[in-house]
Amino acid sequence: LPGKYHPYDRANPNWAGWMNALFGISVVGATPALDAIVTNDFYSPLAVQGVATLGSITPGYQAAFTTWKIWEGVQPTTARTVLTDSGYLGARPGTAALLVKAGAGNGGKTAVNTFALGDTYPDNGPPATQWNTRSDLLGAIYRSHFGLQPVVDVTGTNAAYVLPEYRLCQNGSALLFLMNEYTNTATVTVSAPTLLAGRKVEDLIQGGVLTTNSTGTLGLALGGDEVALLYAYPSLDGQDRSLINPNPNKLWFTTAPPAVWPNGAPYPVGLGYDLRETNLLLRVGFERVGQAGQVFGLSAPVAITGLGTNLVNVPVPDADPNNPDYVSSPEGGDYVFHAWLEKDGQQFSDCRMPVRLLWGVHPLSPLLTALVPGQTCQVPLGWEELPSYVPGDPTPIDRAALWDSLEPRQHYRVALQLLSAGQVVGTSSLLTVEGTATNLFSMTVPANANGPFSWAATLSTAPNVLSHDVLDSFEGRERGAMYTSATNYLTNEVYTLPWSGYNYAFPNTNHVNLWQNEGVQLLGSDGSQSAFLVITNPPGQVYSGFGFAYVFPTNWALPSDTNQWRNYSFAFDFMEASGLACVMEMQVKSTNEQWIQFTQPYNPTNGWDTIHATLDQFASPSGPGLGGFDPHHVKTLVVNIRMEAGAVQYVGSFDNIRFQGPETDLGGGQPTALYRSADDSLGWLSIGSDGAEVIVSWLVPGTLQTAMDPQGPWTNLTSATSPYPVQPGTNRQFFRLTR
């Protein structure tokens, strides 16, 4: 039928004749009983019934759904009616719904449905029911009536829920993709003779060769939401025309970490194999890409045979600041796990899996080891993209804060150790909740330590940290307003929890309701979201204000020494939509509802202003001192705005609320990363030319030596410093670095 965007004249004889000749229907009396979506987002229930046989549709077939377009009054002339429907709102049962015609124009076939089929939804039924309905109706039209046969045909239990797709590769091989959209297992037969027949078929996800000479069909079981990727290619004279691996001995990764943090232990990497030869060895290397295949870690060889899997331990060395080629992925390093087979010393049939190298902890520059007692060293350490250590959650801890700023912060313990003759003689540590950061550690060599000295740094989880920090930028919250004017409806959902909004005014003799709205919005000074409050300030008030309050789960005590309160800081960002005059205020309340506070006039830059102070700068609202505030029973944090303009509406946005203080490490946790200076290479030595002379360069402290032969004897060049120019001579000359 004509679409909603096409003009037509149902009474025009040419129009009616064309529809009759092509579709075998009369449209003279056709009317759009429902034509929604364009001006009205509306769907109406519709029930269809089978009145003839076509594919899976038989007389008595029934289905129900909602649709946005229903035509009535379409009458068959030479078309065959396969389905009828109930009409709009059930008013016209028996309305023609699906009509098909064979022999239309030069023997062609046509079909027409009088309702919108593609954009339909379940009518109080499970989604699978609607999936079945579309499969039944579309299958009847295209497969049974028009005779279209897919290149990849899927039959069997729950086959209707399996989506097939394929692509032809540049050498004629084929990739077949199948996805089970259902939550139940689909046990199916895949028929694709033009793609599979006579070819070797490999499963690229589960691994292994499914058949060496396919008949064109394959049996396959797909779990709920599972994907299969099959690769079909010719195999001749012992060689496969595979773009992945032409060797008939197949090798693939079954498990591999997407990222590694060197921790002193090898990483387990799982490999699957399907072998045609015997006496093969499996090895896996940890390599940097683009650096002449530099192998930084290599597994021991493992003898394998037949079809199976194996877990291989691959060493990943800790950071080496003396090696400029061994850099982390954020520093520009590109790494892979490289697996291959060996036989008689020859490598073949390899595969690679990308992996990110990240420093759990590492020095930012080479560390001094020539130390003397009493010497104080400043050691900069860094760490990168630390992951969550909650079981089953590999999310980087920095990203978790962006997804949900209410997520409890996970602490790591970073420790620097100084060793003398292999024994720890000094330790400095800190707690961090930052996934990527640096810190400058200070270490003094003990007076009784004689060396030789080395350094170690460790990273451990710290799950038992006593902290009263509150860090909230309202990320990850559902956005919404408690009062939505579009529907004039007040919701019961408080989007800002655990922060609760409030307002006040005095004397407010007319008892004006100040509150108008609050919630979480897509606007932020930190991240993308913030909390907001909309408040009306009546005229003639002595004081008035609004804000948010947070109640600690348990009461806690500040130090008795108020000088230590400088270690506690409080801050938040605020914006008033119209820049109205106000005062920003932070309060810390005790259980007796008394408080100390810090205030600052609102002076925005680009709309936002920030207030920040340490608790030793707070005072009682009545003046210097604590007033009635009880520091031994801290209960509530408050971010408050004092309104200074009357008879106006304030629209306030709050973001990046930060209350931070000292944390107590109660111990426990597991080591997750390690650095040892004893593992560092001796140094990096390079020889180049500036065009006029040869230049010898090195990065770390050491003594340059020279010799006429690699076997020596070697002579110290004690006065040489990097870069060191060398005048080319007639005799060969070798250089090395020593400590």
C-alpha 442 chain-centroid distance:
36
Positions in the chain whose pLDDT score sits under 50: 1-8, 486-487
CA dihedral 591, 592, 593, 595 (to 10 degrees): -90
DSSP codes, 577-635: TT---EEEEEEEEETTS-EEEEEEE---BTTEEEEEEEGGG-BBTTBSS-TT--TTSEE
The counts of H helices and E strands in the chain are 4, 58
Within 13 Å, how many C-alpha atoms sit on residue 397's CB side? 21
**What was the pLDDT predicted at 5?**
38
The pLDDT tens digits of the residues spanning 544-576 come to: 999 999 999 999 999 999 999 999 999 999 999
**What was the pLDDT predicted at 118?**
83
DSSP codes, 286-339: EEETTSTTEEEEEPPPEEE-SEEEEEEEE------TT-TT---TTTT--EEEEE
User: How far apart, in Å, are the Cα atoms of 644 and each of 548, 611, 647, 648?
Assistant: 18, 18, 10, 10
**What was the pLDDT predicted at 104?**
59
**What was the pLDDT predicted at 735?**
85
**What was the pLDDT predicted at 656?**
96
Within 13 Å, how many C-alpha atoms sit on residue 115's CB side? 28
**What was the pLDDT predicted at 6?**
45
How far apart (Å, rounded) are the C-alpha atoms in residues 631 and 560?
8
How far apart (Å, rounded) are the C-alpha atoms in residues 407 and 400?
7
Side chain identity at 246, as an amino acid letter?
Answer: P
CA proximity to 635, closest of 569, 589, 579, 679: 589
CA proximity to 699, closest of 723, 717, 679, 677: 723
Residue 115 is given by DSSP the state B
Backbone angles phi, psi at 635, to 5 degrees: -125, -40
The pLDDT tens digits of the residues spanning 189-237 come to: 999 999 999 999 999 998 889 999 999 999 999 999 999 999 999 998 8
How far apart (Å, rounded) are the C-alpha atoms in residues 294 and 282?
19
Q: Which residues pair with 112 in a beta bridge?
A: 99
Largest separation between any pair of C-alpha atoms in the chain? 111
**What was the pLDDT predicted at 553?**
93
How far apart (Å, rounded) are the C-alpha atoms in residues 562 and 558?
8
Using DSSP, state whether 675 is helix, strand or coil.
strand
* Sign of the alpha-carbon dihedral angle for 651, 655, 660, 666: positive
